[in-house]
Amino acid sequence: MKNAQAKNAPYHRMLKGPISNKVGSMFQTKYRSEFMGCVYTFAGKDRIDIMLRRPRRNRKNEVVRSQVRETNLSVDNLIYPLFVVDGQNHKSEVKSLPGQFRLSLDHLLNEVESCLKLGVKCFDLFPAVEESLKNHLGTFSYSKENFYLKYITEVKKRFPEALIMTDVAMDPYSSDGHDGIVRDGKIVNDETLEVLGRMAVAQAKAGADIIGPSDMMDGRVEFIRNELDEAGFSNVSIMSYTAKYASAFYGPFRDALDSAPKFGDKKTYQMDPANKREALIEAELDYLEGADYLMVKPALCYLDVIHMLKEEYAVPIAAYNVSGEYAMLKAAAQNGWLDYDRAMSEMLLSIKRAGADVILTYAAKEYAMLCAKIAQ
């Protein structure tokens, strides 16, 4: 290497002595190379000091670890899903989802209040609807008699500072248990959009801040955006379930709402778990159609998809840490196989590290309580 080159090389150091076979083989034909973060210059049989960089120095105590931490998870990043039912003084635990309950309005208001005190400010409400109120077209979803709409209004009236997200899909209201209208055993896409649009406007009128279309019908984001704008709700956001996979991890959620399909499965509209690049197609469509957030669901098995969308799009990326992911962690902890608080925190951190700006998780309140405990 010429002297001029050596002087300009960052972290330049002349090294002396014999080179080990392993390290030497990497450098014998090079005069300048990066190794463990430094640029080294050597000639002939000079020795390379490979311990100049010691990564452990940046892990030596908690102050340093906190200082250089690349990913920080805050309660502000979390949305808490809550299940609601009609009635009074009703609070029943979902057996397959320990610690999560179906709540009537009085208990819902109490839960929102306690969460707000912990710093959890955003809630996603999901209705458990009586079977007698369901029909082929899911018309109860936008009925003035729908308790779900009344609950949204009451929560916003009592706690205007709370951010309320709502679910737009037919399955809680459909007698078929699917996210779209069923005709001749098939899910009809375009006709379903009319129902979703009416549902979204009804929720916005009730006070929803964020509409969450979880149905996976083609074109629904644009249709809903147009319906909201025409009804005067241009400030209501859309968090699209962009890459929602036909996953095995939804079981406890469907138990909570009794919303499992009455026949078949959802593979004709939810995504194939084998596909990654297909998520880019869905993301591009949702982005162009006006989605304010792009969501990946589930989260843990799809961290690569979360990361990919974060790299490709400037809008916020959301991830749904779904019921099955939460339930398996709870089951392992109940059997003494895992430290729940540590495992839960690591799980959420991994989702944030992958690129999620927002995480929907049943552990939102527990994480907030843990943060409050640590802060004491």
Q: Which long-range contacts (CB under 8 A, 24 or more apart) does 184-192 make?
A: 185/263, 185/264, 186/268, 187/268, 187/269, 189/217, 189/218, 189/219, 189/269, 190/219, 192/217, 192/220
Residue 7 above 60 pLDDT? no
**Distances in Å between the alpha carbon of 31 and those of 8, 19, 24, 94, 113?**
13, 14, 12, 65, 65
Which one is predicted more confidently, 71 or 263? 71
pLDDT (tens digit, 9 = 90+) per residue, 97-151?
Answer: 999 999 999 999 999 999 999 999 999 999 999 999 999 999 999 999 999 999 9
Within the chain, how many helices (H) and strands (E) appear?
Answer: 13, 14
pLDDT of residue 48: 52
**Quick check: 142 and 202 in contact, CB under 8 A?**
yes
Give the residue ranges of DSSP H helices in the chain: 3-8, 21-27, 62-67, 105-118, 147-158, 189-206, 220-230, 251-257, 278-288, 303-312, 323-334, 340-354, 364-375
Residue 264 token pair:
């078949």
Q: Is the four-CA dihedral 310, 115, 201, 261 of positive or negative sign? A: positive
Total-model pTM: 0.85
**What rounded mean pLDDT belongs to the chain?**
88
pLDDT of residue 255: 87
Q: What is the percent of the chain with per-residue pLDDT over 90, rounded to a whole number?
A: 74
Residue 52: band (very low, low, confident or very high) from pLDDT cuts 50, 70, 90: confident
The CATH 3.20.20.70 domain(s) of the chain lie at 75-375
What are the catalytic residues?
A: 244, 297
Cis peptide leading into residue 298 (ω within 30°): yes
DSSP, collapsed to helix, strand or coil, labels residue 45 as coil
Which one is predicted more confidently, 276 or 10? 276
Q: What is the mean pLDDT of residues 333-342?
A: 97
Q: What is the mean pLDDT of residues 3-30?
A: 44
pLDDT of residue 1: 41
Residue 268: band (very low, low, confident or very high) from pLDDT cuts 50, 70, 90: confident
Cα–Cα distance between 72 and 66 in angstroms, integer? 9
DSSP, collapsed to helix, strand or coil, labels residue 181 as strand
pLDDT (tens digit, 9 = 90+) per residue, 191-236?
Answer: 999 999 999 999 999 999 999 999 999 999 999 999 999 999 999 9
Residue 17 above 70 pLDDT? no
Residue 176 above 90 pLDDT? no
pLDDT of residue 108: 98
Lowest-pLDDT range of 181-185, 310-314, 343-347? 181-185
Instruction: Output DSSP code: residue 86.
Output: S
Cα–Cα distance between 234 and 369 in angstroms, integer? 35
pLDDT of residue 49: 54
Residue 265: band (very low, low, confident or very high) from pLDDT cuts 50, 70, 90: confident
> Which residue, 258, 16, 225, is CA-closest to 132?
258
**Quick check: 141 and 170 in contact, CB under 8 A?**
yes
Strand partners, 189: none
Unique residue bearing structure tokens 């929560």: 155
> Which residue, 189, 270, 239, 131, is CA-closest to 180?
189
**Quick check: 257 and 100 in contact, CB under 8 A?**
no
Cα–Cα distance between 137 and 182 in angstroms, integer? 8
Q: What is the mean pLDDT of residues 230-256?
A: 95
Cα–Cα distance between 228 and 320 in angstroms, integer? 24
210: left (phi over 0), alpha (psi -120 to 50) or beta: beta
Residue 90: band (very low, low, confident or very high) from pLDDT cuts 50, 70, 90: very high
What is the domain class of 75-375 according to CATH? alpha beta
**Quick check: 333 and 339 in contact, CB under 8 A?**
yes
pLDDT of residue 24: 46
pLDDT of residue 260: 77
Other Cβ atoms closer than 10 A to 259: 24
